[in-house]
């Protein structure tokens, strides 16, 4: 009995060691033996072996314009690529997309804006507006280039601090920020917190090489007078005997904490390669569009699940599940088109294709 148990345990150990070697070789973090292309994802009912289905639904007709089946565990890295796919399928130069908080990623939103996609994404971390920083690139922007919808012209306009014509009247605004006032970071006596020039509190993140670093990502996300040209949040370092660290601010706002009398900034304050101008891109929140999204994007999923009985995929693998999802959405689109236009009009439209 003991020998049989040891043989089973040894075989199990070898099997899992082979799984581990396979993960190291492929670079993946998961391995499902029942469906190698699926991934464990968290749903409202717990973790399941799933696929992530992305859909683009037309707000007027509620027809599914495009879909894609992926194995991404979340939606934060799919917005720009999927929006480009929808844009190409619909053969449109500028596209407006509305997405929920699960797609909230500054990198993805910025990539969409620079490609001619106007994203209305729910705020997960921000309050009333989202602030994006771009490096300023001086160049001549003609009226023809400002009216252009090519991605390269849109990027050129944004980096020059000019709002493209295709984004006028939207929730986007662009402004060029110059270096103006000089503020200071002030460290308290307890050395656990630092007050930034605009009055926000930064907390200790790490201690190395005799110095302590402080940062606060949420404070930098909402700051309209940034002290760094970087897209990332500010990380300020204090030495053992340092009480103040100077910083030159971008924008019109006046710092709350200024230089004390007789204060001499550190040598790094006088860096010559620091840009004098930056571009601040403001993305305002749009609550009505978020409420409209609930009525539009969830409708096809609910109809397919409850009317067609497609509560889960029957096939395995991304290719087969994509075909299965495509058939479900095709049936949904045809039934909805028949209800809206009727069978004769639909047949006539198919003959003209």
Q: How far is Cα 93 from Cα 80, in angstroms, rounded to an integer?
A: 15
User: Is 202 within 8 Å of 214 (Cβ atoms)?
Assistant: yes
Q: Does CATH number 1.10.3470 belong to domain 32-126+285-353?
A: no
The dihedral sign for the CA sequence 275, 226, 102, 205: positive
One pLDDT digit (tens) per residue for the chain, 353 residues: 788 888 888 889 888 888 888 888 888 888 888 888 888 888 777 888 889 999 999 999 999 999 999 988 888 889 999 999 999 988 999 999 999 988 988 899 999 999 999 999 988 887 788 999 999 999 889 999 999 999 999 999 999 999 999 999 999 999 999 988 888 999 988 888 999 999 999 999 998 877 899 999 988 988 888 888 888 899 998 988 888 999 889 988 888 888 888 888 876 677 778 888 999 999 998 888 888 888 888 888 888 888 888 888 889 999 999 999 999 999 999 999 999 989 998 888 888 76
Q: 53 forms bridges with which residues in the sheet? A: 69
Domain locations in the chain as residue ranges: 1-31, 32-126+285-353, 178-274
User: Is 75 within 8 Å of 103 (Cβ atoms)?
Assistant: yes
Cα R_g (the chain), whole angstroms? 27
Tokens of 170: 């939207």
User: Is 172 within 8 Å of 118 (Cβ atoms)?
Assistant: yes
Q: How far is Cα 95 from Cα 106, in angstroms, rounded to an integer?
A: 18
| Side-chain half-sphere exposure of 175, counting CA atoms within 13 A | 11
Q: 69 forms bridges with which residues in the sheet? A: 53
């Amino acid at each position: 009995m003991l020998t049989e148990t040891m043989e089973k345990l040894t075989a199990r150990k070898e099997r899992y060691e082979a799984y581990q070697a396979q993960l190291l070789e492929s670079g993946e973090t998961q391995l499902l033996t029942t469906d190698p292309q699926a991934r464990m994802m968290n749903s409202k009912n717990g973790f399941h072996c799933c696929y992530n289905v992305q859909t683009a639904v037309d707000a007027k007709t509620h027809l599914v314009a495009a879909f894609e089946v992926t194995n991404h565990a979340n939606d934060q890295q799919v917005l720009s690529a999927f929006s480009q796919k929808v844009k190409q399928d619909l053969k449109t130069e500028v596209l407006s997309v509305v997405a929920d908080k699960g797609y909230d990623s500054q990198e993805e939103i910025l990539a969409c804006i620079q490609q001619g996609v106007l994203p209305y994404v729910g705020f997960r971390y921000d309050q009333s507006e989202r602030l994006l920083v771009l490096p300023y690139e001086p160049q001549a922007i003609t009226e023809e280039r400002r009216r252009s919808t090519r991605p390269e012209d849109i990027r050129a306009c944004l980096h020059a601090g000019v709002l493209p014509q295709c984004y006028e009247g939207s929730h986007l605004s662009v402004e060029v920020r110059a270096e103006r006032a000089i503020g200071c970071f002030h460290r308290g006596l307890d050395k656990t917190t630092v007050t930034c020039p605009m009055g926000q509190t930064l907390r200790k993140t790490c201690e190395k090489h005799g110095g302590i670093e402080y940062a606060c990502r949420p404070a930098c996300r909402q700051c309209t007078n940034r002290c760094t040209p970087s897209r990332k949040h500010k990380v300020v370092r204090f030495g053992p005997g340092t009480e103040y660290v100077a910083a030159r601010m971008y924008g019109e706002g006046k710092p709350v904490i200024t230089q004390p009398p007789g204060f001499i900034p550190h040598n790094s304050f006088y860096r010559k390669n620091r840009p004098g101008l930056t571009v601040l891109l403001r993305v305002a929140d749009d609550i009505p569009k978020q409420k409209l999204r609930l009525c539009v994007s969830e409708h096809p999923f609910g109809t397919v699940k409850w009317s067609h009985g497609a509560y889960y995929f029957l096939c395995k693998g991304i290719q087969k599940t994509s075909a299965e999802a495509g058939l479900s959405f095709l049936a949904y689109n045809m039934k909805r088109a028949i209800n809206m236009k009727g069978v004769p009009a639909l047949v006539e439209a198919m003959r003209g294709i």
